[in-house]
């Protein structure tokens, strides 16, 4: 809870633009209650109170590793992504067969062309006919 109080102090100072004494006054009241509960329960730490903290740290490490790995993969995949002008040139090519219908490709980032779209066009040498003009 002390971490939450500290985070709230930063929000009041940075986001809301409160004066330091106003933030400190309100957060000091919260911190008083938080530290009271903390000191009342600190004796439980050696007899098993450490377990939830170890589990929380483990979950935090897993989540951080997952996010940083996902970001690295996204950067590597979309670094060589086809940009809009290059895609326009590919789409105007006479070597691509136009098929009726439309296709939807989900992407994680708005930058570049969806990798699935490029792969589909490359493997099938086909693209859907434009059904409407861009908005």
Q: Is residue 45 situated within a structural domain? A: yes
Mean pLDDT in order along the chain per 10 residues (135 residues):
92 95 96 93 92 95 95 74 62 71 71 69 63 41
Single pTM value for the model: 0.49
Do 71 and 111 sit in the same domain of this protein? no
Which domain range does residue 21 map to?
2-78
Q: What pLDDT score does 135 carry?
A: 38
Sequence-distant contacts of 123-132: CB under 8 A, at least 24 apart: 124/97, 125/95, 125/96, 125/97, 126/96, 126/97, 126/98, 126/99, 127/91, 127/96, 127/97, 127/98, 127/99, 128/98, 128/99, 128/100, 128/101, 128/102, 128/103, 129/98, 129/99, 129/100, 129/101, 131/102
Do 58 and 109 sit in the same domain of this protein? no
In the chain, the number of structural domains is 2
Do 63 and 100 sit in the same domain of this protein? no
Do 8 and 61 sit in the same domain of this protein? yes
Do 53 and 98 sit in the same domain of this protein? no
Q: Is residue 135 situated within a structural domain? A: no
Q: What pLDDT score does 72 carry?
A: 86
Q: Is residue 19 situated within a structural domain? A: yes
Do 65 and 87 sit in the same domain of this protein? no
Q: What pLDDT score does 75 carry?
A: 76
């Amino acid at each position: 809870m002390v971490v939450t109080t500290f985070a709230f102090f930063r929000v009041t100072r940075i986001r809301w633009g409160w004066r330091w004494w106003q933030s400190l006054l309100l957060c000091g009241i919260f911190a008083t209650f938080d530290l009271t509960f903390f000191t009342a329960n600190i004796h439980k730490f050696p007899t098993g109170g450490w377990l939830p903290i170890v589990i929380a740290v483990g979950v935090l490490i897993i989540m951080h590793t997952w996010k940083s790995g996902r970001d690295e993969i996204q950067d590597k995949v979309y670094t060589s992504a086809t940009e809009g002008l290059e895609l326009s040139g590919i789409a105007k090519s006479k070597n691509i067969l136009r098929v009726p219908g439309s296709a939807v490709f989900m992407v994680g980032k708005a930058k570049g062309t969806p990798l699935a779209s490029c792969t589909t066009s490359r493997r099938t040498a086909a693209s859907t006919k434009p059904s409407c003009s861009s908005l």
